[in-house]
Amino acid sequence: MSIDAQKQDLTIGIVGAGAMGRGIAQVSVTGGMKVVFFDAAEGAAEKGRDFIASMINRNVEKGRMEKAEAEAALKRLSIGASIGDFTDCDLVVEAIVENIDIKKKVFNQIEEVVREDTIIVSNTSSIRISSIAAACKHRSRIAGLHFFNPVPLMKLVEVINGTDTAADVTAALEVIGKRMGRVPVVVKDAPGFLVNLGGRAYSTEALRIVSEGIATPFQVDDIMRDSCGFRMGPFELLDLTGIDVNFPVSQIIYNGYFQDKRLSTYPLHESMMEAGRLGRKTKAGFYEYAEDGSLIQPEPEAPVTADPARRVVLAPEHSGALDSILRDLGVSVLKEDDGVSPILADPIGEDCTALAVRLNLDPKRLVAIDTHTGVYSRATVMAAPGADDDIVLSVMAMLKQISGGVTRIKDGPGFVAQRMRAMIANLGCEMAQIGVASPEDIDKGMKLGLNYPLGSVEMAENMGSRNCFKILEQLQAITGEDRYRPSQWLRRRALLDLPIHTRD
List residues with catalytic annotation: 125, 146, 158, 196
CB 121 within 8 A of CB 94: yes
The amino acid at residue 279 is G
Query: Given phi > 0 = left and psi -120 to 50 = alpha, else beta, which region is 312?
Result: beta
Q: Angle 483-159-26 (CA atoms, 0-180°, nearest 5)?
A: 120
H/E element holding 359? Answer: helix 352-359
Alpha-carbon distance of 124 to 68, in angstroms, equals 34
Alpha-carbon distance of 85 to 110, in angstroms, equals 10
Maximum separation of any 2 CA atoms in the chain, in Å: 86
Alpha-carbon distance of 406 to 378, in angstroms, equals 6
Sheet holding 156-161, edge to edge: 77-79, 34-38, 11-15, 91-94, 119-122, 142-147, 156-161, 183-188
Q: Angle 30-34-39 (CA atoms, 0-180°, nearest 5)?
A: 100
Q: Where are the beta strands (DSSP E) in 308-361?
A: 311-314, 332-333, 343-345
Q: Report the relative pairing of strands 366-369 and 379-383 from DSSP bridges.
A: antiparallel
Q: Which residues of 99-132 are buried (b: 16+ CB within 10 A; e: fewer)?
A: ebeebbebbeebbebbeeebbbbbbbbbbbbbbb
Q: Report the relative pairing of strands 34-38 and 77-79 from DSSP bridges.
A: parallel
Q: Residue 66: exposed, middle, or buried by beta-carbon count in 10 A (0-12, 13-18, 19+)?
A: exposed
Alpha-carbon distance of 419 to 223, in angstroms, equals 12
Alpha-carbon distance of 25 to 76, in angstroms, equals 10
Helix/strand/coil for 32: coil
CB 195 within 8 A of CB 154: no
